[in-house]
């Protein structure tokens, strides 16, 4: 029995070690899909489903914006550089209420927008061979040589297992 308790405690500590203490949680909206935060500051990038007449708007399925906590939690659109280089979503394919996207920062991760049984929009990904509905991403950034560039070291995907609904955290190392 002690072994079981130790394993549960170890698993809890492992997951808690990924937590970002002190980071703000953006206000939840009915169509919010997920948000991204990173290690350089508290500014947050939010992604919401664009719903028109009760359905995902095929012409513009996602609204993306940032909350600039370093300026008093002001909501602003993404800058053109942020859209093109990092946080903008590119629509790759759509078919019958399933939309496939990628972030501008990488083509390695594909995001899928769909609606759940209750017609609630959700975004899922497949990371480390695990399919999960995402709620939050945290990007650990690292300064490059002589602080001339910044690179992502890894991404933590927080969400729920696609099948079981169990809370999960998946870590994707970026090389």
pLDDT tens column, 100-145: 999 999 988 999 999 877 678 999 999 999 999 999 999 999 887 7
How far lies 41's CA from each of 69, 71, 122, in Å? 8, 11, 26
More confident: 173 or 14: 173
Q: Which residues contact 122 (CB under 8 A, 6 or more apart)?
A: 33, 113, 114, 115, 116, 133
Question: Poorest-confidence range of 6-15, 17-26, 137-146?
Answer: 6-15
Closest CA to 112 of 91, 128, 129, 130: 91
Beta carbons of 37 and 47 less than 8 angstroms apart: no
**Count of all residues that appear for the chain in the document:** 175
């Amino acid at each position: 029995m002690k072994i079981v308790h130790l394993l549960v405690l170890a698993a809890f500590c492992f997951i808690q070690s990924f937590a970002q203490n002190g980071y703000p949680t953006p206000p939840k909206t009915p169509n919010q899909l997920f948000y991204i935060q990173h290690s350089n500051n508290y500014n947050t990038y939010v992604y919401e489903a664009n719903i028109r007449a009760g359905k995902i708007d095929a012409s513009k399925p996602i609204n993306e914006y940032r909350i600039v906590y370093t300026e008093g939690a002001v909501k602003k659109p993404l800058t053109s550089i942020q859209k093109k280089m990092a946080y903008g979503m590119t629509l790759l394919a759509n078919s019958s209420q399933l939309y496939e996207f990628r972030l501008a920062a990488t083509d390695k991760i594909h995001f899928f927008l769909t609606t759940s049984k209750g017609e609630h929009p959700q975004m899922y990904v497949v990371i480390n061979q695990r399919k999960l509905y995402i709620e939050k991403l945290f990007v650990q950034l690292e300064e490059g040589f002589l602080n001339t560039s910044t690179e992502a070291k890894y991404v933590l995907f927080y969400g729920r297992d696609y099948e079981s609904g169990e809370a999960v955290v998946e870590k994707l190392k970026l090389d």
